Structures are given as C-alpha cells and as structure tokens.
Structure 1
C-alpha cells in the first residue's frame, strides 16, 4: 500500500513531510519509523519531530538542501525494506483513580455515552493507547483512540487550571496533564504519579510507545502518591 505525502519547506533549514490528515495508527507508525531511519543517516539531518500526520526535519544547509534531501527521502519511503515494520511495543501502565473528586467530567461523559460508570472505566482501561505525538507542554502525550461512547468533545470554555496528573479525553484522543495548566479536555480521573519533574525533564514515555491505564481506588491513589513523592515509585512496563 502506498502513502500520500508532500514536502513543504519551512524556512531555510527545515521541511515538513505532510501525510494524509488523519488520526491513523498505521500512518503514524510509518512516520515514527521514518524518523528513526532518517536520524541515523548521514544526510545532514539535525533533528526530526514526528507528529500525528507530519514529520518535521531540521537539516544542516552546509551539508544538504531541500531538493537533495527530499530526493533521498523519497527513495527511502519507496524502499520499504529500509523502514522497520516492527512497532515500539513498549507498554507503560499508568494508575488512575476514577473518582468524582478528580474526574470533574465523569457524569457528563457517562451521560454523553449513555453508559454506566463501570462501563466508562472498562472502556478507558481495556486497551493500550498509542502515543501519536508529544506536545502542548512538557510530557503531554497525545494518545488514541478512545471508544466512541466516551469520545466526548472538549469543553467550549476551557478551565483556567487543570491539576497535574489529570487524565482526560477530547474526542477520540486521551491524555494526561503533567503539570497544572489551562485545558479544555474532559477530566475522567487523576494519576498519583509525577509525570514531569523539571529537575529530571527526560520523559518517562515517548511518541510511538503505548500507555495503558489501570483503575485504582482512592486509598491506593494516596498511597502511590506518597511513594512517588519519596521517589519510591516507578511506572511499570507491561512487556
């Protein structure tokens, strides 16, 4: 199966590879696979930034130019053998407390989907979510895709403050707020894990990997929160 894409210049030393504008796991895996291949080549590429349906490439203008680079990239995309077909199947488990104290939009999402509280939890925790891209704030992972009944559109008027650790949905996307910030996603619960530490800014998860949520009680929430604050809790890998 071929891929539809085009090259768009972005200034003197950057370009975008723009694929079909869809939220599609197969297309996104191609983008991450291509990013992995390109950053290891000697084509004068300085950095790659994968997103939902685009790949931004920064390059050294003293080593290459737009025409030379796009010609090489076209050859790589056509030669599928250079692209790994294996997914990054690293799955990271994130504990979440689905309680009304933390999930301010639980009732609204339940009414939207015509489902029960237990069904909402089951739908949100049953399968791993692909991290399509990182952005918006440090450590914020855009993930998908959530089940249709809980795919409620974001708020028309965003909240001025969303607490750190909040777990939310916005349409077919789900995500976690690593720090307190404004936001309009629908809040379902909260994780006690510290998702971002400015003293150790290296993320605990990356685009192309997977997150799987695990429902926990309020008692477990506060217990894990104490462990995390003391540096005694690490996110678990499922495989």
Structure 2
C-alpha cells in the first residue's frame, strides 16, 4: 500500500522521537518498502520493555490509540439497544449465558501472558502495532506466548539502521518470519513470507557467522526440534515445518 507524504511524516516522527529519547526499537514487519509504501497496512514495532510506556506516548502524538475492548463494548451495547425486547428476555431467562457473552466481548483484547502488551495506533489506513515483547500465537489456545528473552535481546542488540529506522539483522528477521508462519499463520506461509524467507535464507546460510546466529535462535525458539526446523528452512520447505514438528517425538 502506497502512503502519502503526510503519512510518511507521521511514521518517521515516531521513529525520530524514539531515537531522540534513546528508545531501542526494531520494526518487525511492514518495512520492506518504507518510506514509499507498506506491505499491507500494518507496521509491527518491538520497543524495549523499559521504554515501552514512553514509546506509547510518542505514538499517541501522531496516531490515534485503537482500543479493541472499547470497540467490542460499544458493539455489544449497540446490539442491545437495537433489539431491546430480545435483550430483556435473554437477561431474564438466561442471565448466566448473557454474562458469558459480556465476559467474552470485554476480554477479547486480553492475553493469557500478562507480561505481553500490544498497543495498536491508527492514522487513516496506516496501523502501528507496538509490542513490548516478542510473542507468537499458542498452538493450544491462541494466546500470545512470549519467547525466550535472549531472542528478544538479540533482536534489539543486532538491529540494523536502514533509511532512518531500525530493522532486524538477517538471522533475527528469518527466525521471526519462520515463527510467524509456523505459529501465527498455523503453518500456512503466505507467498510473500516464502519469498522473503528464501532471500534471507541465502544471505544467512552463505555467511558462517550469520548461520550460527540463526541456529542459536532456532535452539531457543524450537528447543530440541531446532534441527528439524533448520533442515526445512535450508530446503525451502516452509509449509511442512508445522506438520513435521507435530510428528517430532521430543517436541
């Protein structure tokens, strides 16, 4: 998606302010075509946890905080107003069921891992998703599960500055995309992920230092199944990683 000069200014105001206030961050996704365009409409940003509150305040200067919970409550209230008779009957005859609906609606934006916080900011069609930790969707209940802190630290320590903002180093970018595909996309890697993984794989595996860094990341992300994932990535068999992990006896 192409972005206007005004939108570019808003995005880079955030990045420049992060740097001015010594907030360590890295753009996880949506950076390939910046500043002219965004792949999709979302820019995912990891901000160091110690500076996360300050990062939120900076984002609020140029973007509007988008609160999913508030939106869900308004939708629930609107539904009750539009169907008052049915709502009264439901409360009278099945109060426990109504309570469950309310509970589910209000907690939609909640996460089982209380250490993980995500804030979404919007400016027109542009979205910045600001995260305080690296986390991926659980295969059990869909909650966000934080990764080993060493993976997060490496992402920030090895970040690379490009065109006025920070992006992950190749090993970290590749590991992040693999986890996104395996967990957040349920193993079904989008075509754009496959293309980017292929590019990063060539860069990482052709450099012994980068390759070793990537292997270390996989050991912290996939534990004893790291070799299974590494061999799949090496062969470009991304779509089979999740099914191979399920068959792996020690995973």
Superposition TM-score tier, normalisation by shorter sequence: under 0.3
Name the TM-score, length of structure 2 as normaliser: 0.22
Higher strand share: 1
Higher helix share: 2
Higher relative contact order (CA 8 A, sep 6+): 1
Larger Rg: 2
